[in-house]
């Protein structure tokens, strides 16, 4: 699927307040905690994570990439995931200070389409647990227009 960039210090802190980078085992547990397949192969080289294996759909592969990349200490995710059911790829968007999901929806789907923020929430659940608490630096999936 390619190489994806993230903000190294903006993701979920698997170890509480620590900025310590996660191990491959920790990242496997993170995937399992989001209900994502944890039987993928994960290799770590500094702040770069390489993931390979199989994903049922493009959406699942994107969620795996985001769950790994939105973790403190990860700056890049290289994906060699094989997708069984291909679909149109989502756009990845990095949240900026002052963004709301409504604003992001209008920016991507057009003026007056802010209510489609619920589609963005669905596309990012998991790992987004509370749509009111998005943080600058997080990377979100923006699904294609229906």
Question: pLDDT value at position 33?
Answer: 87
26-40, 65-79, 116-130: which has the minimum mean pLDDT? 116-130
The count of other CB atoms within 10 Å of the CB of residue 13 is 14
CATH of 91-142, one of 3.40.50.300, 3.30.70.141, 1.10.760.10, 3.10.350.10: 3.10.350.10
Query: Model confidence at 19, in pLDDT bands (50, 70, 90)?
Result: low
Using CA atoms, how far apart are residues 76 and 73, in angstroms rounded to an integer?
Answer: 9
Q: Is 135:10 a contact under the CB 8 Å cutoff? A: yes
In which band, very low, low, confident or very high, does the pLDDT at 134 lie, cut at 50, 70 and 90? confident
pLDDT at 18 over 60: no
Give pLDDT, residue 12: 58
Give the list of residues 6+ apart from residue 125 with CB closer than 8 angstroms, or none: none
Mean pLDDT of 14-35: 75
User: What is the distance between the terminal CA atoms of the chain, rounded to a whole angstrom?
Assistant: 22
Neighbours of 123 (CB within 10 A): 18
**Between 113 and 38, where is the model more confident?**
113
Higher per-residue pLDDT: 20 or 97? 97
Rounded mean pLDDT, 30-38: 88
Question: Is the pLDDT score of 16 beyond 60?
Answer: no
Q: Give percent of the chain above pLDDT 70.
A: 89
Q: Do domains 2-85 and 91-142 have the same CATH topology?
A: no
Tell me how far apart the alpha carbons of residues 103 and 51 are, in angstroms, rounded to a whole number.
32
Predicted pLDDT at 83: 94
Q: Which CATH number fits domain 2-85: 1.10.10, 3.40.640, 3.30.70, 3.30.300?
A: 3.30.300
pLDDT at res. 17: 47
Domain positions in the chain are 2-85, 91-142
């Amino acid at each position: 699927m390619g190489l994806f960039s993230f903000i190294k210090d903006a993701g979920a802190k698997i170890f509480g307040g620590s900025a310590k980078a996660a191990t491959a085992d920790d990242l496997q547990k993170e995937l399992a905690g989001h209900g994502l397949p944890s039987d993928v192969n994960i290799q770590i080289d500094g702040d770069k994570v390489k993931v390979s294996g199989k994903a049922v759909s493009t959406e699942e592969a994107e969620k795996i990439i985001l769950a790994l990349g939105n973790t403190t200490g990860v700056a890049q995710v290289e994906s060699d995931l094989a997708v069984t059911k291909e679909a149109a790829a989502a756009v990845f968007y990095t949240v900026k200070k002052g963004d709301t999901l409504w604003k992001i929806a209008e920016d991507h789907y057009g003026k007056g389409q802010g209510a489609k923020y619920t589609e963005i929430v669905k596309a990012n659940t998991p790992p987004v647990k509370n749509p009111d608490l998005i943080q600058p630096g997080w990377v979100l999936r923006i699904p294609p227009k229906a």
